[in-house]
Amino acid sequence: MKEATKSEKLHILRLELQNINQHLPASVYIPFVQNSTRNYCVLHIPPEEARVFQTKERAPIMLAIEVFRPDEMAINLKEKKNKQILSRMMSTDNPYEINDLEA
């Protein structure tokens, strides 16, 4: 049996990624590094970003993975709120106390 060409492999990979995306559960994560990465939820694996390599190595493909990290969003919102409070403190008669800033 002849081995598939690089373009055939890429086509099959992209079809399989589309199938995976359709059945991707909401709580999927990829355990890259210890516990910190469990906070990254996989949203989507874009098939058009997939690459196939002609190699005998163990990693013959490259994937891009779209992830969401809820705790990072919370941190960004907290920082944004603190910046808004600081901005108001600097531009008004100071209706906020320094204790209003979140730690």
* Contact in structure between 13 and 61 (CB atoms under 8 Å): yes
C-alpha distances in angstroms, 68 versus 19, 64, 65, 76, 101?
A: 20, 13, 10, 13, 26
Rounded to whole angstroms, the Cα distance separating 24 from 47 reads: 14
Average pLDDT over residues 4-27: 90
Per-residue pLDDT at 25: 87
Could you read off the pLDDT of 32-41 as tens digits, one per residue?
A: 666 555 567 8
The answer to whether 81 and 68 are in contact (CB under 8 A) is no
Q: What is the pLDDT of residues 16-58, one digit of tens each?
A: 999 999 998 877 877 666 655 556 788 899 999 999 988 776 7
pLDDT digits (tens, 9 = 90+) for 44-100: 999 999 999 887 767 689 999 998 877 666 666 667 776 766 676 666 555 555 555
Among candidate residues 73, 100, 74, the one with its CA nearest the CA of residue 87: 100
* Extents of the domains making up the chain: 1-68, 70-103
